[in-house]
Structure 1
Amino acid sequence: MTSLLSLDALDVTFTRRGRSKMPVRAVDRVSFDVTEGETVGLIGESGSGKTTIGRAVLGLTPVTGGHITFRGEDITTLRAERRSRFAGSLQAVFQDPYGSLNPARAVGRSLLEPLEAHAGRRSADLSAEITRMLDEVSLPAEAADRYPHAFSGGQRQRLGIARAFAPTPQLVVCDEATSALDVVTQAQILGLLQRLGTETGVAMLFITHNLPLVAYLAQRVVVLYRGRVMERGPARDIHEHPLHPYTKALTLAVPSSNPAVQRARRAERAEAVSVNSANATAPPAQGCPFAPRCPKAADTCVTSRPADTPVGNRVIACHLFDSRSGHPQAPAAKGTT
């Protein structure tokens, strides 16, 4: 399939405030593609760089290295006036929908804005379109005359989704679009996004910390830790059979309503995540960032960066799966014993 969005060795570095002025590499040589009509999930703990990647794609965060290509054009460093050409094709749904709705303006007017800006149509011609958009997200037509404060969190998120899909985009970046919602509303919003994606053929970059959500909605997933890709491949396969030690720990962190299952997961996670360093918050500069927490870490994990290693239908950045890494548990080492 045709690649719609492509990230090639993307780097984003920030400078700390205060006396130290130490640079922080939030995104470290991240590469992946999103094809037309595909949903790709970005998964990771807080601080993994997933939101920074989404903001870089949207042009909200400056890039310090690598390239972002959209529809075959490099948009990495486009100025605002040139990037505006892509605004209708590249939309976003944020965690806080209230922030994208003007509290002093009726929501119908907020829904009109992207249509007027990107479709070049007059508001007088769009009343039926607003009604259709509201119906698509299961809201009544009279909602157009109400103000954002009159809606619940789930309803506001539906409005945010309607606004993002209004100009018929090719890609929608969903940044923690369900994390602030209760479980029932989460399921409803996920079902809505899945239906809209199927009906419109719009591709989505779905950013979350919840792996089961990604397995439900996305076709592929990219697992991030401290700005680096740990594992990427089919979402369901990674959810059901994680291979990278970090992905396994992430899976075990998902809570269960069954107390027995929860106890078992807690015990497994205690074995899956350890502290092999006096300062686990400071990963090695050259090696794997997960090494201080990994119970299978060896010297090579601290001294050298893992290569992207193909394993079946996925790619894993872990010395355990690289026969040339020198890790004592790597395939070549096992074969020589």
Structure 2
Amino acid sequence: MTTPIFFGSEVYRGSSYGRWHPLRIPRVPTVMDLARAMGWLPTAQYRTSPRAKPAALTLWHTPEYLDALSHAEAVQQVDEAIRDRHGLGTVSNPVFPEMYRRPATGAGASLLAGELLADGGVIYHPGGGTHHAFPDRANGFCYLNDPVLAILSLKRAGARRVAYIDIDAHHCDGVEHGFAGDPETLLISTHEERRWPFTGVLDEDGGGNCLNLPLPRGLNDSEMAEIRERLILPALAGFAPDAIVLQCGADAVEEDPLSRLALSNNAHFDILRGIMALGCPRLLVLGGGGYNPWSVGRLWTGIWATLNGHDIPDRLPPESEAALRALHWDGARAGRTPPAHWFTTIRDKPRPGPVRPEVAQRLAHLRERSAARGEMPEP
């Protein structure tokens, strides 16, 4: 695979979790439209995400849960027993017309990505990153756990050591459930402290292979740069993976309504560039959280530009600006009067700041723990 591959699907354009759900907004279609308007998504690099069949999903999910999920889509309702057992039909994971087809499409792309990366390469799957689902239960807007399926697929296709980095604002509880204690899988999660699902505390190491870094509100670009240079990249270098999965949830940026972190999208781009410089032969980049349509679309399009080495202009051309002006955000105060740069730029202005003592201390704690195990150099 000589050039990065982009997985997308029209199922994301024609489906929604419901009128008032945070995932009512368009996300993947915005990335597709904006990347094409920029001339960054030629046909040769685009692949339509396949829909995974239930048999393929049993690589991690239980047959009973998959039956319940597909049946709920077919009849468009669940009874109390199914809701209690499988988490379907809740406020977070509602019944909607594509409730199996949409997540199965995301899972299908992640499963196929593992196979396509058998001989190396780069794949971008912004519809992936649904990191909260459990084998027998929907959870946190996630019906299927495509990052877990991607890691399992990579290993089945020959990858021996897989590193999973998650920079979403929320802890990757489902992925940790899947791989805690696995010495051949490294998990690194940066996430906002005291935010749902309230897991991933500093000393939660998953049996030795998990680096959880809960972060205070207002996390700035300078602090994330410290985390990148002192934790993420050294840990990856020490682990020496032959496959890397990056979940780049867009909810860690300042404009997101469901978190209180304050990053610019430059932090995500810089982490990705650092990972790419390591030269790992297999790289899969997933989407994840993100609930402001403009900040998600701009960030994830910038990720695609970074993967391809495209220069991001200071001002978008008219066709690209039109793709962003076509967005709307019903019921959201910020969507009533969006600032001009949400339409005219991809890259945010940097948001530097002081590295607060609590961030430095937690970072030092994780480095010391990893150094004691021989996983990275002494701090």
Q: TM-score, normalised by structure 2?
A: 0.34
- Higher strand content, 1 or 2: 1
Which structure: larger Rg?
1
Q: TM-score, normalised by structure 1?
A: 0.37
